[in-house]
Chains A and B, each alone.
Chain A
Amino acid sequence: MKASFDLKKTIITVVAFMFSIMFLLPFIWMLSTSFKIEADVFTFPVQWIPERWNGFENYKEVWFGQFPFYIYYWNSIKVAVSTTLLSVVVSALAAYGFSKVRFPAGKWLFLIVLATYMVPPQAMLVPQFILYRNIGLFDSHLGLVLLGSFSVLGTFMLRQFFMGIHTDYIDAAKIDGAGHWRIFWSVAMPIVRPAIATYAILRFIWTWNDYQNPLIFLRTDSLYTIQLAMQKFTTINGEFYSLIMAAAVSAILPLVIVFIIGQKQVIEGIAQGGVKG
């Protein structure tokens, strides 16, 4: 009985693996192409392991050539880390206020904040653009950071976790004479730390991958984030696919690392957010 069951499981694993190749192959193709010389990019059958290696030159051109990626990397790190930090602080404060402080206005203010989640970001782009042009936030990293920091989603997600904290904890702390500020820092925050890690990883990934906001709110080349630079790089290097793939690998790599380190948090966070409470 047990042996036949395992055989079935093995067969299914093999079938699932063949299907999963469709998901991995584009990445493997990208990686292997990034190490090839240009002439070998389209040889058929595909050379999965390059015969003539040119990886060092390709990556050198991407990182230190005429569109040096180290500048855009630094820009992206700056924007993504700042956005993540600010967004976590703002969201955690609001989430605590909306869940653990009992005040009459809280409920309908929360509904207003929640309602903005229904608004597609593109429906606000034009006024945001006009606003930014007039208050000097256009073409600046600060402007980008602010756009990504007031996340309804983060507030909502963390609020769910704060609500899981039993009121007794809060009341006990109140009886001991602690104000909300102290309760927030020393009681509530330590309890929801895993949720904050999840949200921080997701926010980092989203900000790193964002293309639309940098496209609209940045003009100066030296301020470009990695996604915008990647696009410009593609336009300029038109037919040099080996270089373009080296750029693509560079753009994806930090995310793969963040994802592999925080895999559990990311997957659990998405699963928890998606299933109805």
Chain B
Amino acid sequence: MGFKTEAPNPTAISAAPKQKKKKSAIEKNENWAGVLFISPMLIGVSILMLIPILATFALSFVEWSFVAGFSQMKWVGLENFKALLGDKVFIKSLVNNMLFILTVPASLAIALLLAIVIDKNVYMKSFFKVAFFMPYISSVVAIAVVWQVLFHPSAGPINQTLMALGIENPPTWIADPNFALFSVMLIQVWISIGFNMIVYMAGLQAIPKDLYEAADIDGASTWVKFRHITFPMLSSTTFFLFITGIIATFKVFDLIAVLTKGGPMHSTSVIVWHLYEEAFVNLKIGYASAMAVILFLCVFLISIFQWIGQKKWVNY
């Protein structure tokens, strides 16, 4: 998502002093028009997003359960946050979230390679676009259910194939605590490649052709052209996909909820899943809100990093 700010209109500025009286009436109209146009959005966002996020911060300092009335709310200060530090499942979830970030560079590398190959070097370009994009548009619930069966330890097609190829003890995938997170990450990469590839292909279109022509005249190899033209010219796309990809990994809920429910033995638990369990299964509102605050801070820090890094690392 690019951020464009409108350049001030020079004619509006130079015309201002002449018709000051008339202008102020127009200005008043503009104010009203502006407010009217944005008010539905503003009201919705305030009630459904701004107030809830403020409430989350407030609730993170209390101990309370849905079933008890508002009068049962108890102020506990930073106790919830202290408890989080001692919560093994929370720490595990946080670590898993960090590991999950690895899916982003993996997906980006494959997507970039595919984008370059498909953009110029294949027939039936649109077939490939649709094929790689299928997982992204399909519902995560259906995908998770299908993979659950494909990964079935003994009867699933994947392990049957592996055994037929002579591998005697194939991993039991999502049933094995040591392998489950890796399996979920594989599916996440599989889902996200299509989206990244499409964005990369648009980025490739934007690279001026004469750069390659000049390199061809100099006799540059494919690798040199990639290293010195394609990759640097795509740095803003890569940076954008990298940051939004990381933020998206913090929001992965459906896949975990349907595929593993955080198990086996919390090996695939992530912050949003643990939060869901504490809030809506164990009804610990304050505790879950403290977790939501941590989640918010993680995403907030990454966004700040994006804001600063955009200028620093994006180079043409």
Residues in A lying within 8 Å of B, measured CB to CB = 8-10, 12-13, 16-17, 19-20, 22-24, 26-27, 29-30, 33, 42, 44-46, 89-91, 93-94, 96-99, 101-106, 109, 112-113, 116, 118-131, 133, 146-147, 149-150, 152-153, 155-157, 160, 163, 167, 179-181, 184, 205, 208-209, 211-212, 215-216, 226-227, 230-231, 234, 241, 244-245, 248, 251-252, 255-256, 259-260, 263, 266-267, 270-277
Contact = CB atoms under 8 A, between A and B. Distances in A.
Given A101-B33, A120-B250, A267 B133 contact: yes
B50 interface: yes
Residue among B9, B141, B142 with max Cβ neighbours from chain A (10 Å)? B142
Contacts of B161: 44
B237 interface: yes
B199 A251 contact: no
Interface residues of B, number: 104
Interface of A is mostly: helix
A29 B157 contact: yes
B105 interface: no
A271 B201 contact: yes
Contact of B2 (A10, A152, A241, A277): A277
A209 B135 CA distance: 12
B132 interface: yes
Contacts of B122: 9, 12-13, 16
Nearest to B43: A150
A146 B44 contact: yes
Contact of A13 (B44, B48, B123): B123
B292 A44 contact: no
Interface stretch (B52-60, B82-90, B210-218): B52-60
Given A17-B128, A124-B52, A267-B129, 5 more contacts: A16-B128, A113-B45, A126-B292, A127-B56, A205-B137
A272 B202 contact: yes
B71 interface: no
Given A10-B123, A97-B38, A119 B53 contact: yes
B237 A116 contact: no
Residue among A22, A44, A131 with max Cβ neighbours from chain B (10 Å)? A44
A120 B164 contact: no
Nearest to B50: A116
Given A251-B139, A259-B137, A266-B137, A274 B240 contact: yes
A127 B201 contact: no
Contacts of B231: none
Given A211-B258, A263-B130, A119 B296 contact: yes
A211 B272 CA distance: 14
A45 B157 CA distance: 8
